[in-house]
Each structure stands twice: as structure tokens, then as C-alpha cells.
Structure 1
Amino acid sequence: MRAAAAAISAATTQAEVDAAAKLVATESVRSSTAKQAATKLVRLQEIRLEHASIVTKALQDKLDGQISSQAYAYLEERATALSTLLSAGVNTQLQTVGKAVTSPPLTVEAPLAALKSGTGSITPAAGWVGFPGGCALPAAQDTFRPQPLSQGPSIITTSKLVQDTKVRMLADPLLAKEHAYLLRSAIAEGAIVRDPATPWIWFPTRVMRLGYGWLAGQDILAREKLAADTRDILLAGPGLTLDVRSATVLTAAATSADWIGGLPVVNDSVLVKWIGPLSCMLSDHDNWVDGPTNLSAIHDSAALLAAVAFLKDRPTQSAALSKAALIAVQPALKMITTDGGSFEGPGYWNYQSTALSSLYSTAANVYGTTPVPLPSLANVSKYAIDAATPSGQAVDFADSSPQRMSPLMPAWDSYARKDSTVAGWVIGEYQKARDVRLLWWWTSPSAPRQPVSSRFSTTGLAVLQAPGKTAALKGGVNGSLHSHLDLGTFSYHSKGVDWIVDPGAGSYSLPGYFSSTQRWTYWKTSTASHSTISDSGKNQPLTATAALAVPSPTGAVVDLRAALPGTTKALRSATLTTAGVNLTDSIQAPQPRDLRWQIVTDAAVTITGSQATLTKSAQTLTITFNGAPATAQLTATPAPETSSTGANLTLLTLSLPKVTTTTLTATFK
């Protein structure tokens, strides 16, 4: 409209005036159409909620015996048709936005009235597959329909995988004892009464334990317990929304239902209460299902497994849901397979490991070759091995806490690629935390691959490995989901000790913890809580990025100019030595600035002159500085918060006032 107004103002001839008037008319239509489309989209959302409410009530009436199965089936068929009209209507309105065309009328009011009254026909929209109580998805070719390639279970495992594992274990006296232990664990698990209010905590593990008892031991009681728990959870529903916890539960419930041969009694409830919300998230292209995050990995994996377990007799819906899930998950897969890590940190790398290993293993069992390719997990295995300390802990950053890397994705990767060295690492992890999937996804192991120095450029991490030592530098991007303002953060493990501690996540219940502004006011997400060099008292810019390089197996470097705005040079390098590691900061700035060098530790700290001594677990580490100006001051002060494990933290700080040029080397040994 501004362009049209400018054209009128600039017109000097009748032809120019006419052209400007035509432009005004066109832009008026475009503006009016956008406004009308917005109003109609709001109405379509209201109808969607009415539709969901009608179907949910009818489902409950059926479960309570208030209406017959035939009456419910009649309503479900009509509701399914209405969902296609709703999705087609949304698509039509969205296509008009930005165009100088007449906004098309809504055509769903009459079908909604027909659904409410129970009379009158509702003809579905062509090209759409509806979901009662949910939304419609584009129709998909039959090749997207997941169909088991063999008899028996197809989610995560197969009858052959279970039988091969059992035969292999019984042939080895030590493994035979492990098999017996797992069967006893299933019996013990079945005797435990779990809290029905928190299934996301216990149900996934319970399914694995009881599932092994049933699949490998034909324990009828384990099967009955699985069936009862799964039925109760699925009938209860996920609550008001399908969040990441409920998606995790749905993945476990689909696995359980598949392993025990199905639970037809819950299929209608699953379709409405669980798949319905998922179909709407997929239809809306919600960032929780098609963003490059762990959230998408978990939701989309749940959608595929639900299609396998609960839509066997609904081929068009099964194909549509599976296709939507396989397409939506691609950004999440690209994020974690590009260099194997995740900018969200090792905690969320682990969080999605069950979902993605379930997705990959199930896709192989129901497609053979997936209709949408799934990228290799080879880099994921590399990250799991190379981004961990000698104690097996992940190099920690972002909203994470100290933990081992999950072996699930590497286990499937070693099985798919027949990589014996990764399999050797996986079986070592099984000794620390039993998980039957690591036995089913079996490749004969060789000596486990040893960690090597690596750069994970997409993740934003450089890790240096030497026998008994690991040093790491953090680069990457600030301001993304679950990240902290931590560019340049340094970590070091030696002598069996993690000397530098990442603060971990703050409380997610803090006001605005995930807001684009307030999040960075909290200590744990701010620059002040990290082991980096910074402008004293200031956060790094939210938009800052830091490139990484690993020029040699013993050296890594990160460019911190964007984290220290106004500097002409800001290189931080870490170099492993025979005795320890050297951390060097080379800074140049046109104007004097106050800088702060800092590490965060849970060790005891003693300062003697310009040297610090850290003591932890009966080990000591000395830190000496070379190149510090005479005005520099070394101090140790208590941190304002504890670590993610509750340990008291100390901030070891070297203040660097009025710096224009400095090359500061901290030697750790």
C-alpha cells in the first residue's frame, strides 16, 4: 500500500494516475484477503477444537458403555471426513495470503452441523487422509505404509534377533548367567507397583525388562503385566497436550503393544487421544515436530511407531502418518548426524537416543529400505566415543549435567554397518548399564576404538584426546535452544578427575528461562558461569559465533572475536603436552578493555602468588600463568550457585585490567 501511495504521489500523467489507481485497487484486495483469511483461519481453529471435543466425548461414551460400538464407528467415520475438510480449508486460506485474489468462503460450517446433529452427509476432501479428533494429512503412497517384513515383533527387534541372541547367550556359560539374570529381572520388575502419574520416568525401562522376559523367556506373567500397564496408560491418554514426555510414553507403549501382539481394545483411544494431537502437530508443521531439535526426534519417532503398532488395519492412515513423520524428522536427523553431536548438549543428545534408535531399528524391520532415506549414524558413534573423557563422561556443555553417552544409537549403527570396533565400545557400555537392545543389535566386537582428537563443527566443540587426558574448547553459536553464552569455554580431565565443571542447566521453572531475553539474566546460562575469557561483567552477544579448528591431534583453537566485540584478534588455543595442557589467549584490541580469565571448579583451590593449586579426589593440579600483566590479580571466590550435581563451586579468576594486547598462557599440570 505504501508503494501504491508513492505511485499516486509521483504520477504526472493520466496514464500514470490510472496505473497507480489500479495498483491501489490490487493492493486493497490483497490486504482485504489477508485480513479475511486470518479471520477464517481463527474460525477453522475453533471448529477443529469443537471437532476434537465431539470425538473425545463420543469415545468416552463408548468406553463407558453409553453408546454402541456401531454408533461410535459411524461418528468416527464422519469426524474423519470433517478433519479432511478442515485441513483442506486451512490450506486454501493460507494459499490466498499475499495474493490479490478473493478470499474463498468457508465450507465446513454445514459439515460441522451435520456432525453435531448426526444427520446429513459429510464428504471428505480429496487428497487428504483424516484422523478423528485430530487433523488430516496429505495422502501417501502405499510404499510409506509400514508392513513387518517377518512374523512377530517389528518395533526395535524381531523374533530372529531375539532368538539369535538367546542362542548366542546360552552357548556361553557367562552369557547364560546374564540371560538368567535378565529373566529374573523381568520377574522382579513385574512385582513392582509403579506410580501411574509418572509413566515417562519408569515405563520405558519397564517395557524393556518385561519385554525381554516375554520375548526371550515366554514369561506369560511378564506379558500380562505389559498388557495391563500399556492398556491403562493408553486409555488414560496424554492429558491436554502431547508433550515430549507423553511422546516418550507413546514410543514405549507402541513398543509394548507390538511385542505382545497388539491391544485392539485401546486402538480407538490411541487414535483419538494420542495420534490425533500428533496429526495436528504434523499438519501445522509445528516446530516441535519439524525443527532441528531433540523434540522433533522424539515426537516423530513416536508417530512412526504408533503407525506400526496401532494402525495395522488402517492402511491409508498408516501410510499418511508414517510419511509425515519420516519427512518431518529430517531436520532433526540432519542436526545430529552431520557431525554426530548436538548443539543442545550431551544431555539432549542422550534424551533423543531412545527415540532415534527406535526409529532406525523399526524402519529397517518394516521397510527394509525406507521410502525417505535415513542418514548414517556413523558420525553419532564417533561423537559418542571421541567427545568423552577417559572416565567415560561426556564433555559437558549447554543445559546438561554430567552423564555417560548413551550407547543406543552407536549400537544400532554398529549393527547396521557391521563395525566391530564400535561394537567393542558398545559391549563395554553394556557392562555398566544393562540394556537388552545392546544384545539384540549385535555385531561381533573387536577391541573398542580408542578416542581421537576431533572437531565437531556443527555442534561447536573441539576435543583433544591423549592417554589419560581430555581437553575441550567450546565454539559454535550462542542464543540457540538449550545453549549457554559459553563460547570459549575450556574443560580438562586428567588423573581421573574432571577439574573444570560446567554449571549445568538452571531450573526450568525459573520465570522466562526459555524466553529470548530473560533466559540470559540467570547465572548458569550467562557468560559469568563459564570457564572462558570475557569482557569483565558482561555477557557475550546472543548472536555471537565462534569458529573452531583442530590443526593437530594435540591442539585446538577457537576464534572469539565475535564473543569479544571490538577486538581485532581473540584466539584461544589449547595444546596437550606431556605434563598437561597449555591454554593460551591472544588478544588485540584498539582500545583498552577490562578482561576476565576464569575457570569454574568443584575442587578445593589454594592460591600462592600467581599460582593456583586445585585438589580433588586425592589428586592435585597446578595452574601457572605466563604473560600476565603486572596489574593482573588472581582470586578464588565461591560461586553463587552449586553445580548440577549439588557440588559447591569456586570461581578461579584472573582479572586483566586495561588490556590492548596480551598473550596469556595458563599451564595446567
Structure 2
Amino acid sequence: MLRFLAVAGLSVLTLAAQDRLSTLRPAHPRIMATATDFERVRELVATDETAKRLYGYLKSDADNLLRQTTTVSYILIGPRLLAQSRLAVSRVYRLAFVFQIERDRQYLDRALMELWAAANFPDWNPSHFLDTAEMTHAFAIGYSWLYNDLAEEQREWLRAAIVNKGLEPALTRYRLNGRGNGWWAASPFNWNLVCNGGILAGALAIAEHEPEMAREVLDYALKTAPVAMKSYAPEGGWAEGPGYWDYATRYAVVLIETLNTALGHDFGLAESEGFDKAGYFRIFTVSPIGRTFNYADSSDTVGGWSWALTWIARRFDQPTCAWFQLDKLTAPSRVDPLDLVFFPSSTALPEILPSYAFKGVEVAVLRTSWTDRDGVFIGIKGGDNAANHSHLDLGSFVLDMKGQRWARDLGPDNYDLPDYFGRQRWNYFRLRTESHNTVLVDDANQVTNAKAPIVESAIGQDSSSVTIDLTEAYSGMENWRRTALVEEGKRSVFVDELVAKGEVEMLWGMVTDAAVELLGSTAILTKGGRTLTATLRSPEGAYFDTVATTPASPAENQNAGTRKLVVRLPARQVSARIEVAFE
């Protein structure tokens, strides 16, 4: 159950002059779940077959942890402790959750092993503050969910770790007001929500013992989190790609639900523009074969499941999001305890058309079905090259047909490559324009701060189209519009109409891991026992070719098994219409 005060419309402003901790729930658990929630889950896993199956996965995981003697360790990968922080979150949630259902102290004791190991780390790596925030989140859950069965001495060392390694480093950064090491508090992207969510959970877990510190954290979180929540406007999209949609949205829910469970209201954060549509963005951008439209630093094998969808389904009465999530929970690694805490009361197949153009992030999905693996799925983007985690990929697309992904986005490279997020970023092949499924002009990268809006869209059941204005992508362009179409429910078409300020080389291209047979203006792609025919409708004299996708530096991912299908024009052009159809 979501928790709201009887006084409707509470907001940051209406409570600004009040003690925001005045409504603090005195009892534990109070972070992300309450005793009432666990009572409901116990009944669910005894009476509902789906809930029983999911709980079986979680209990099996927890039982496996009982047999393991290794705990989280202070191991940095590059500058990050993040893998260990996330491991702590996963293990503590599972063990504490199963303890709440089974009331068997061996799960509690095993959770304390993890927490004790992390409490004795020299720090939680505040130089990469995501690590600190996620570890604080793990401790908040361990402290609050296990509180009633802990000795006071155990509570004391858990509180000390939260204060010394979590809240104090956070307040040092909050007080910088978005500058220096506190930059994330002013960020409109995932860092803001992860750091605010994890730290707030820690603060409210121990608020009655550290009220001044908790008040200060709460005030800063309520001041800074809306900066990132605005990024969901107007239609729930996320500019950093589907992987970071999941990361940001999970911690947006941690932030909001922690406020609900601990204080009884969320200060209006859940009503942020577009947030009620965030779940739809997720389900639209995952194809029927389970591959995501993985623009920016995202993998196409994310798979789509996210416990945030179960919360969204309950909070906004969206049974379609519940259907999507539960349909994906087919293996233990996919299930999270919060899927049961927020277990939906109903599910429903989508009744809306399967295609949509999301304004704000300027991402469109054209598809012929929600469930047909052989259907057409096109993900295509405009957007902003300067967005966090972006690649220089305006106009890029992915394409699924006949149960296969034919046009791929290669995804990110190793974050620990030198200056991956700095001055070297646009030198790495996977981030450059040449590795994406767009038109490469004069073998150059796109303008790094270019934007590309969706200017037209027509959505139907079997035929849909979207047009993106890509003129800003290259300074030498007078006009460039790319249109993606689904024709008659079985054919995908891409049309580029380009006018340059002078003669330029235009190279249409898409990355594929299919075998390619070149036949002039036709190319036959073969993969997974299926074939796809690419037909070059225009311009006259152009032909298909392939180019390598291997970067010069051996330190980069070598993109084994892939190649780029390209369209070569007969000469440099001032203008061209390039039209490619797949069937």
C-alpha cells in the first residue's frame, strides 16, 4: 500500500516552515516497506501461484548465500567500488526479505556478515559517490528491516557506519551547492537520483537518533531531486538510454517510497511531470524478442525487467506495466524482493497502439505488435548529443524483424578506457558517428552539441512513420530529414533527404552481425536461419557495400562478428534522397 497523509497536496513548499520529521513513523521496518507490507507478502506467497514462484526464486538465492562464506570486499575496479556496493544491496535485500518471511535467524546473521564486512571498509569510496550512496542504501535496508531482531550493539555499529561513511560525506558534498565534488546534486541525470535516494534512505532509517543530520539531508534531497525529476518531462523518456532509465528510475522510486514509508508522503515528487509515463517509455523501448533500443551507453541485452515497473503499476494504476514486468520474471536473477513488496493487484495486455514518438528525448518506436516475435520493431532517435552518456548518434536506429535483430547499436565501451568521459570520448569507435546507424558525412563526427527534434509522426496499427530533423548534426548541412516507416505491417523503410551547403560524401550505414551477400542495389542478410532482403530504392547508381567495424586501438572492443552495411553513392553530392527498404 502507498502511504499518504490525510492532508492532500502536501509539497515541499507547504512543509517548508514545518519540521519535516514530525510525521516520522516511529516503528521499523520503515524504509521501502513496513510490517503491514510484509504481512501482505506472507499471505501472497501462500495463496498466489505467481508470487509463490517468485518467492521461491528469492529464497533459493538466499539459501545459496547461506552456503557462501565470502562477503563484499573493498575492491576498486578503476575508480569504482560500485560493483561491491551493488552486491551489498542485492545480498542484504534478499537476506533481510527472506528473514522477514521465514523468521529464521540464519538469514539475519548472514545479512549481518555482509554489513559487518562493509562497515569495516576504510570508506565507501566517496570520490565516486554512487558507490557511497548505494552502500548507504544497503545499510538502510539492513538496519530497518532487521531492526526489531537486532541487539542494541548491532544497531549502534550499523548507525555509526551510516553516519560516518554515508551521511557525513554526503553533507560535505550537499553543502557545495552543486559545485566541485557535489556536482551531482545539480545534475539532471541518474547521479542525482541515485545519490539522493540512497543517502535519504540512510538518513530516514536512523532519523530519531540523528535528527539534525536527517533534517539537513532531507532538506537537501527535496531541494535537489526535482532537478533530475524534471528530466522525465514531458512523456517519461530518459535521455541517457534504457540502461540508465532503469538505474535512475529505481532510485527515483527509492527516494519517493522511502518518503512514503518513513514520513507518510512524498512531497509531490511522484507527481513530477512525465513520471507517470516513465513505465510506458520502458515497455515501448523493449522489442518482442527482449532486446532494447540501446542508445547512449546502454546494452541491448538489458532485457527490460525492472522492479520499478511493479511500483509504477501500483502507484499509477497501470496494469500494463505489471503485465510486462511479470512476463519477464522467468529466472531467479531477474526477480527482486521489491517485485513482491509492490506485487500488483492486476495485470493487463496493452490496449494502446504499439508505436509511439516520445517528445523531450525525441525517441520513437515503431512496432507492429506487443508480442509477435516475428513482427517489425524500429527504435530511432533524435535527441541531444550533449546529453549525459550520449553518443554522437543522431538519427541512429535499431531494427528487429523475423525474430532477429538486424540493425544493432554496439553499445558502450569500457568505462575505464583513458578519459572515456573526457576529452578522448569522441575518439573511441563505439561513441563516434561512424559506428552508428545513420548517415556519415565526410567521414566526420556529428556536432557534439547538436539537437534533433521529431517533427512529424503518424501512428497506426500496421503502418506508422516518424520524421526527425537532423540538420544540426553537421554544420555543413542546409537541411536533413530522416523518416522511418513501417509499411503494411511487414516492411521497414528508411528515407534520408539531405541538402548540403556544398558537395559532401554521404555514407548511409547500419551495423549488423548478420552474414551479408551483396548484389548491387540489393543485399541479402542471413542470421539465425532467417533472411532479410535490403533493397536500395534510391538514388540511382548507388550500391550496397560493407565496411569493417574494428577500431584501430586494440584496447577498444573489437566488435567481433559485426560489419557495417553501407550505401555508397556514385560521387560527392550536394543533395540526395537515400531510401532503403527491408522485407
Q: Does the TM-score normalized on the shorter chain lie above 0.5?
A: yes
User: Tell me, which stretches of 5 or more residues in structure 1 are unaligned?
Assistant: 1-138
Equivalent residue number for residue 241 of structure 1: 127
Higher normalized contact order (CA 8 Å, seq sep 6+, divided by chain length): 2
Equivalent residue number for residue 282 of structure 2: 384
Q: Does residue 511 in structure 1 map to residue 418 in structure 2?
A: yes
The separation in 2 between residues aligned to 1:174 and 1:387, in whole angstroms, is 25
Q: Does residue 636 in structure 1 map to residue 517 in structure 2?
A: no
Counterpart of 1:616 in structure 2: which amino acid?
A: K
1:144-178 deviations in Å (ceiling 9; x for gaps): 22855473311111111121122122124564455
8 Å Cα contact 1:353-1:406 kept in structure 2: no
The separation in 2 between residues aligned to 1:406 and 1:143, in whole angstroms, is 38
1:611-646 deviations in Å (ceiling 9; x for gaps): 11111111111111112232x342112211499795
Query: 1:201, CA displacement in angstroms?
Result: 4.1
User: Tell me, which stretches of 5 or more residues in structure 2 are unaligned?
Assistant: 1-14, 76-83, 370-374
TM-score after normalising by structure 2 = 0.85
Q: Does residue 413 in structure 1 map to residue 319 in structure 2?
A: no
Q: Does residue 283 in structure 1 map to residue 175 in structure 2?
A: yes
Secondary structure, in 3 states, of the residue corresponding to 2:412? coil
The separation in 2 between residues aligned to 1:330 and 1:366, in whole angstroms, is 19
2:115 corresponds, among 230, 236, 246, to 230
8 Å Cα contact 1:613-1:622 kept in structure 2: yes
Query: 1:540, CA displacement in angstroms?
Result: 0.8
Secondary structure, in 3 states, of the residue corresponding to 1:350? helix
Equivalent residue number for residue 20 of structure 1: none
The correspondence of residues 57-68 of structure 1 with structure 2, limited to 5 A, is none
**Number of matched pairs:** 529
Q: 1:224 to 1:346 in 2, by over 3 A?
A: same
The correspondence of residues 244-643 of structure 1 with structure 2, limited to 5 A, is 244-261=130-147, 263-285=155-177, 286-336=182-232, 338-371=234-267, 373-375=269-271, 377-402=275-300, 403-432=302-331, 433-449=334-350, 452-467=354-369, 468-515=375-422, 517-553=423-459, 554-578=464-488, 579-630=490-541, 632-641=542-551
1:178-215 deviations in Å (ceiling 9; x for gaps): 54553343222222223423522421211222122111
The separation in 1 between residues aligned to 2:60 and 2:549, in whole angstroms, is 47
Counterpart of 1:241 in structure 2: which amino acid?
A: S
Secondary structure, in 3 states, of the residue corresponding to 1:584? strand
2:98 corresponds, among 213, 217, 221, to 213
Equivalent residue number for residue 566 of structure 2: 653
Equivalent residue number for residue 79 of structure 1: none
Secondary structure, in 3 states, of the residue corresponding to 1:144? coil
The separation in 2 between residues aligned to 1:191 and 1:401, in whole angstroms, is 32
Q: 1:259 to 1:645 in 2, by over 3 A?
A: farther
8 Å Cα contact 1:235-1:270 kept in structure 2: no
The separation in 2 between residues aligned to 1:213 and 1:240, in whole angstroms, is 30
Bigger CA drift: 653-662 or 379-388?
A: 653-662
1:102-129 deviations in Å (ceiling 9; x for gaps): xxxxxxxxxxxxxxxxxxxxxxxxxxxx
The separation in 2 between residues aligned to 1:146 and 1:626, in whole angstroms, is 68
8 Å Cα contact 2:242-2:282 kept in structure 1: no
Counterpart of 2:311 in structure 1: which amino acid?
A: W
The separation in 1 between residues aligned to 2:435 and 2:22, in whole angstroms, is 48
1:262-317 deviations in Å (ceiling 9; x for gaps): 72223234322221110011111222122111111111111210111233222222
Counterpart of 1:200 in structure 2: which amino acid?
A: S
Q: 1:471 to 1:179 in 2, by over 3 A?
A: closer
Secondary structure, in 3 states, of the residue corresponding to 1:635? strand
8 Å Cα contact 1:275-1:306 kept in structure 2: yes
Secondary structure, in 3 states, of the residue corresponding to 2:120? helix
Q: 1:230 to 1:371 in 2, by over 3 A?
A: same
The separation in 2 between residues aligned to 1:639 and 1:150, in whole angstroms, is 59
1:384-440 deviations in Å (ceiling 9; x for gaps): 111111122221111111212342222111111232232222222333522221121
Q: 1:476 to 1:146 in 2, by over 3 A?
A: farther
Counterpart of 1:473 in structure 2: which amino acid?
A: I
1:571-603 deviations in Å (ceiling 9; x for gaps): 110110133211111122353221111111111
The separation in 2 between residues aligned to 1:511 and 1:214, in whole angstroms, is 44
Counterpart of 1:414 in structure 2: which amino acid?
A: A
Greater percentage in helix = 1
The separation in 2 between residues aligned to 1:178 and 1:645, in whole angstroms, is 38
Identity %: 24
The separation in 2 between residues aligned to 1:324 and 1:159, in whole angstroms, is 28
2:63 corresponds, among 187, 208, 214, to 187
The separation in 2 between residues aligned to 1:398 and 1:380, in whole angstroms, is 18
The separation in 2 between residues aligned to 1:224 and 1:661, in whole angstroms, is 70
The separation in 2 between residues aligned to 1:239 and 1:392, in whole angstroms, is 35
TM-score after normalising by structure 1 = 0.75
Q: 1:599 to 1:165 in 2, by over 3 A?
A: same
8 Å Cα contact 2:323-2:348 kept in structure 1: yes
Secondary structure, in 3 states, of the residue corresponding to 1:393? coil
Q: CA RMSD in A?
A: 2.4
The separation in 1 between residues aligned to 2:64 and 2:269, in whole angstroms, is 40
8 Å Cα contact 1:489-1:530 kept in structure 2: yes
